[in-house]
Amino acid sequence: MPECFVAKASELKDGDRRIVVSGPHEVGVFFKDGDYYAYSNYCVHAGGPACEGILVNNVVDILNGDQTYEGQTFGDAVHFACPWHGYEYDLKTGECIGDRKLRLRKYNVVKRGDEIFVVI
């Protein structure tokens, strides 16, 4: 399978991403907490640039023992949101948060020395 150069690993800081284009494929490659993740940059909702929105920790509701609402906080899972309509995706799986049956196409990332490639 063909590979597309993404960046030198030394150029990527935690939370960075690159969008690469190879033929009809547009892929968002993320670097977060020492790992690389790559997904199709086409949102399942309306084809928007899914990988180009903000990275944010998931929002968690705080419930009391009797299940009454106490407030919200941020959890450990990281999501990214399509900037067109806010569809959120799990950074580790590519699953759509609003409907876990939907997910972005995932691509493999290869590191050779200081160079990062995505397998198209």
pTM over the 0.85 mark: yes
| DSSP-derived secondary structure letter, 96 | B
26 burial type by CB count under 10 A (0-12 exposed, 13-18 middle, 19+ buried): middle
Q: What is the pLDDT along the chain (120 residues), one digit of tens a residue?
A: 799 999 999 999 999 999 999 999 999 999 999 999 999 999 999 999 999 999 999 999 999 999 999 999 999 999 999 999 999 999 999 999 999 999 999 999 999 999 999 999
Output the pLDDT for position 1.
76
The answer to whether the CB of 108 falls within 8 A of the CB of 5 is no
Which residue range(s) make up the domain with 82?
A: 3-119
Residue 38 is predicted with a pLDDT of 98
- Closest of 97, 75, 87 to residue 44, by C-alpha: 87
Number of domains in the chain: 1
The SS3 call for residue 75 is strand
Contacting residues for 15 by C-beta, under 8 A, at least 6 apart: 31, 32, 55
CATH, residue 90: 2.102.10.10
Nearest to 106 by CA among 47, 39, 32: 39
